[in-house]
Structure 1
Amino acid sequence: MKDLYTFDSTEVEAMKTYNTVKEAYVHLFEELKLPYVVASAASGNMGGNLSHEFHFPSPKGEDTIVSCSSCEYVFNEELASGKCSNNHAKDKPTADSKSASTSDGLGRQEASAISTGQWTSISKDRKVLVRAFYPKFLITDGESEPAQREVNQHSLKSILSAYGIDLDIGVKDALAAWKGEIQKQPLTTEQNIRVVDVYDARVRVYDRPPIKELLEGVPSGDLNIRSSLLDRFPGTETGLDLLRARAGDQCPICGEPTLKPDQAIELAHTFHLGTRYSDVLQANVAVNPAILEEAGKKGHTEMVPVQMGCHGIGVSRMISAVSDILADDKGLNWPQAIAPFQVAVVPAKGLEKEAELVYDSVVGRNGESVDAILDDRSKDFIWKLRDADLVGYPIILAVGKKSWNSGNQVEVQCRRLDNLRTTVSLEELPKFVSSLLSKL
């Protein structure tokens, strides 16, 4: 892991540093010339209010990156707030939908239930059981058949954290864990045992099962099980969106039905931490009036907490991800930016001196810096060519007897460019190799 920690005296300077590091990472991934995405991300345990992740799209990835082809907004699924930003009125009910929208008795109009599903979790202190009700089947724009949907656990964590509930999504049998906590507690009304029911905006509130069914087989005595209902985003009248994004869902920024989720491998992350750690550690710095004035403040020199940033690239993970993405049945296939050598010169037996001419012509002309290697091992010609493929050099120059005896011709191989195999004269070779490298 390559880590970088930054320290600035004002937030203005900290943001300049953050953007500088982020641009440096962009340049690195551009140089690899592989598909990558920069996604807005949740800061998680690191803290702060701004972070970005760099990802390679891959079906083997552990992260889900959601992108909008309309406004080009890209975000990690973990960033989902649970706030309903879609116009759910456009969602088409499935054939097994229940009746149309009805009032819940409190003057609010409830969306029609669309094959409601239930997902259960528990708080980390095991005292709060959470039941999430969501549309299990839903038709979105562009779909003719109902698609089975799943709960976005990160949305639920975000919603419940606003109410002081720290959700533990790692518990497999939440109900059993909750019952176990009840059995451990004295049967009094003072224990904060609760049930919280959370509703997606597209299901009806009165569809929840009664709480007494949850207590079957558990001696609860006079234990007061409190029940809460959440169907609005905290502090607003906006409904909740508990679903994982699917292709064709509406973008939370532009509202167009152009979202597309992809699995991806995280390779780098940038965090603006602000003063989360410097406040606690009392890591202060003296700031002079000129800097304060530039930051929009006036006054004399004062001590302020440093603004921190944390950035990192997973070097070993990047090597693994690149090799996995580009490898084929012949072996590795490196981008030239991280390849052991850009060009490998592989001669047949008896053509070692001729191979030196090829090597010198590629490396020593036009003042260009080409990183090449000459395979002078006393191995069979075919063996060395296969080994060069296995290692994954971007360009292989095969100096064989047949082509060389046909007017000093060299066979140029480049798997990254549609498995290119062509013969080029020694005179034209430097220019040809240079043009290939510019495309890799």
Structure 2
Amino acid sequence: MKTHFIAIGGSAMHNLAIALKDKGYQVTGSDDAIFEPSRSRLENKGILPQEMGWFPEKITSDIDAVILGMHAHQDNPELARAKELGLKIYSYPEFLYEQSKNKTRVVIAGSHGKTTITSMILHVLNFHQKDVDFMVGAQLEGFDCMVKLTQDNDFMVLEGDEYLSSPIDLRSKFLLYQPNIALMSGIAWDHINVFKTFDDYLEQFRRFVASITPGGVLVYNEEDPEVVKVVEDAENYFRKIPYKTPEYEINNGKVYLKTEMGDVPLSVFGAHNLLNMEGARHICQQLGIMDEDFYEAIMSFKGASKRLEKVEREDKGILYKDFAHAPSKVKATVKAFQEQFNNEKKYGFLELHTYSSLNPVFLEQYDHAMDGLDEAVVFYSEDALKIKRMEPISPELIKEKFKNDNLRVFTNAEELHAYWNTLDKTQGVYLMMSSGNFGGLDLTK
């Protein structure tokens, strides 16, 4: 099968391209910019475009599938050529469904926790050498590629994202998967640039539940009232399995899960991670993994990339980085950090740089998000606001919306870095929350 990727360099797209290459497909692609690690990984597989840019002449009538990434625009010249030739154009999730429509599809959805839960499931399955197809949005220890597609596997585990499918397909990605087994971890308004009201956002999850195949299974977080309401209002037939935070305790900085089989020591911390783990356990049960085998495997799970991931520093200081930037994720991560390091001085840094997080209306969702930290810092770039053509935001507004008068607010990367350099990283513990990089801050030094 001959496939061509428009915007092959994306974090998801390049993984799919590699998976198809490994499956024996003929793969080509284009992009206007490709960064690491995508660049090296595509190059190692021999599918890195020879030059950057869009080249309509690459689109030929013998191509079986054109896969369109979100990074491309509607007026992309390669897309125009594909339409002109009448080629089949797929979004990323649409193509994943085509690859898995004869398998049992397991879809993990939710505003927060979906990457971690998917990662936990794959870790357990990998530990017990149970082979499945999968797609997950973070790099995992023990996995070379974050997409796997085979002819023979019976199951496919998919991280279900509620964001748009492609520039020409404005459906939420997870609406295309039609799960046989699903999980919903939580609902908290996100992607405000696309879903203008909370009800618009909520509607995606209603449709997701409605897309579960007849007689399927939904594992859901019964501690989230929005999730519970969506599940209770559903009119289609499926089996409902609720889950909640399990009992645990912290002894000498180590988290122990309380189970019928005794205390299980864990390598991760935070109530939200324990809640995620419970959801993963229920999904693994559906895949034939007994609880005893689940606990044996989960002890060695160290977390998904950038999800409360410990950074090895030259000075041996204690620092964790986390992808958290949406309000509900920030609150859960800060709470976990407080609980784990109760007796330490705690420094928390948050970078705001998404469309949602820089919207004054949405900022209200961050109220008290940084409370409980001894030193709390928020950074956003005034230049980023200009690039996004958004109105300026004052540091005073940030403090007001966060309801935290002691918040330090930086709008200039150089000033943030100067403050960072005044801190003795061997004293106290540090939490760095961002889907960016704090203006190029090196967290290892």
Question: What's the TM-score bracket when you normalise by the shorter of the two chains?
Answer: under 0.3
**TM-score between the two structures when normalised by the length of structure 1:** 0.23
* TM-score, L = length of structure 2: 0.22
- Larger radius of gyration between Structure 1 and Structure 2: 1
Higher strand share: 1
Structure of higher RCO (CA pairs closer than 8 Å, 6+ residues apart) = 1
